[in-house]
Amino acid sequence: MNSATAELLRLARPMSFTFHRAFDMVRDPVQALEVLISLGVDRLLTSGQRATALEGLANLKQVGQLANGRMIVMPCGGLCAANMARSAGKPGLWELHFAAHKTEPSAMTYRNPQIAMGLTSKDYEYLKTVTDPTTVRTTVEAARNEYVN
């Protein structure tokens, strides 16, 4: 992890650098956190080594406390307006990552019933994934309410 991450950091600068969820697969998260901090990683995207941020909340709190402002720890995985109160506003966890998408029909008018690209269902070819502004708004409002309270 050290040399590859160091090279990616070098290439990415001066941009901010986020280390993705590969962290969730490490054997020793405390050691990995210290390595990432020593390399100069700005932000860590993690679900706390569990499938969702809520399942990994205890680990997320620990990582956030250990980072102690030396790196941003950004919880991710299954976060939404309905569960924001359980994950937002925890010490060391000041940024949150969530999905806010929906699927809607594409603008394609011609449908070739003989083929689907890749291993998807034929109907999937005619859908598109877009950002859902309502989901963004309600999730951000829920997070803000937790940080204010």
Provide the pairing of β-strand 72-75 with 101-105: unpaired
Q: Crossing angle of helices 57-67/29-39, nearest 10°?
A: 40
In contact, 97 and 76? CB cutoff 8 Å:
yes
| β-bridge partners, 18 | 43
pLDDT grade for 100, boundaries at 50, 70 and 90:
very high
pLDDT grade for 88, boundaries at 50, 70 and 90:
confident
Q: Which helix (DSSP H) or strand (DSSP E) does residue 28 occupy?
A: none
pTM score of the predicted model: 0.84
Q: Examine the pLDDT at 89 and tell me if it is beyond 80.
A: no
